[in-house]
Amino acid sequence: MFDQNVHRVGFACKIQTSHDKADPKLNTKSTTISYLARQTQANAYGKLWDLLEHNMTTIQAQLVYLSKLPNNQRMFRLTSDVLPAYTHEDWMPFYFQADVVAYLEKHLSKIGEYARANDIRLSFHPGQYCVLASENPGVIENSITEFEYHADLIRYMGYGRTFQDFKCNVHVGGKLGPQGIVAALKRLSPEARNTLTIENAEFTWGIDASLELVEHCALVLDIHHHWIHSGEYIQPTDSRFKRVCDSWRGVRPVIHLSTSREDVIVDHDPSVRPDLAQLKAMGFTSAKLRAHSDYCWNQAVNNWALTFSTYADIMVEAKQKNLASKQLLEQNVQ
DNA sequence: GAGGGTCAAGTCCGT
DNA sequence: ACGGACTTGACCCTC
């Protein structure tokens, strides 16, 4: 378990060496279903083996990179692309061959041990196709498979043993809402139930919906989503945030931070927080304002976000990844 | 190596 | 109806 007394700022999925540049030695690779389908099975399996070896190597390298950062920067969201095509019915059998399972056990257990030994806080964020509260039963089935793929990785790494020793975050999604999440939870593995977090979204299920789940799972407050939803800069003293913290049952919570794109609200004063009503009156749509910035370019937003760090770790969701989260921290030092 | 077409899946917003 | 956005433009093919 990571050190709960460290106030972390983290980043997601990729490590950049400079603007728009991801070091291939530090990042995973993937393929497409379509490409695999065009190969002979032997060639496709060969491709999946190559990717498996590459991704185990680069994830280990990501952790080494993180271990060299100060403790308060050792928080990282692993990409969902670790095992390409794992949840596709044609390719799942690849991953259940004895030699592949042995390889995964060997390398992922080492990765988990390394993260724990080096005080690195890890998470996943299953993507847009994981909609546990869909009104479509088939989509729920696929979403459970998708979530359990992440749970398999979590188990291989030796997490999911205690409540929120690892975070696996999704949005409520779908039409069923929080009650759909409660129903899906009953069908998930123990590791999945221990790691599931639910995040408030911009347009549909916001904080109030999340809070219906406070007894069922940990809640992630996305402060940018809430701003898009309401125009409000919620404060850490807000009673709703206190309830979000309670949902973590003593584990240090995580919040998500992002900002509207700097090339959408061009020339916006970086020392002033964007005003939603004013921007909408100027013709900016919620959909445009929702998109994530490259960097933590707005110092006023940064300062507001950092007021949460007494209570929660901050996951920065910005296109330039570690370059953006570093910027947030360096501002804090000033 | 550069450039262009392709890519499993869900859901929503805006045009 | 369709493109864009979402935690992420990356990957593959052709020239």
| pLDDT (average), residues A162-187 | 95
Q: What contacts A229, CB < 8 A, 6 or more positions away?
A: A200, A201, A202, A203, A206, A207
Which residue's CA is nearest to the C1' of nucleotide C4? A287
Q: Among all strands, which nt has the closest C1' to A286 (CA)? A: B13
The answer to whether some atom of strand C lies closer than 7 Å to the beta carbon of A127 is: yes
Which residues in range 248-277 of chain A are in contact with strand C, contact meaning CB within 7 A of any of its atoms? Answer: 258
What percent of chain A has a predicted confidence (pLDDT) above 70?
A: 99
**Whole-number Cα distances in Å, A317 to A19, A20, A37, A204:** 15, 15, 33, 20
CA torsion, ordered A91, A96, A100, A104, to nearest 10 deg: 110
Among residues A183, A225, A182, the alpha carbon closest in space to that of A200 is found at A225
Nearest nt by C1' to A38 Cα: C12
* Nearest nt by C1' to A85 Cα: B8
Which pLDDT belongs to residue A143? 96
Report pLDDT digits (tens) over A262-307: 989 998 999 999 999 999 999 999 999 999 999 999 999 999 999 9
- The pTM of this model reads 0.96
Query: Mean pLDDT over all residues of chain A?
Result: 95
What tokens appear for A42 in the block? 């032997």
The mean pLDDT of A162-184, rounded to a whole number, is 95
pLDDT grade for A13, boundaries at 50, 70 and 90: very high
Among A69-78, A115-124, A321-330, the range scoring the smallest mean pLDDT is: A321-330
Kindly indicate the confidence band of residue A334, based on its pLDDT and cuts at 50, 70 and 90.
Answer: very low
Answer whether residue A97 shows pLDDT above 80: yes
pLDDT over 60 (residue A333)? no
pLDDT of residue A332: 57
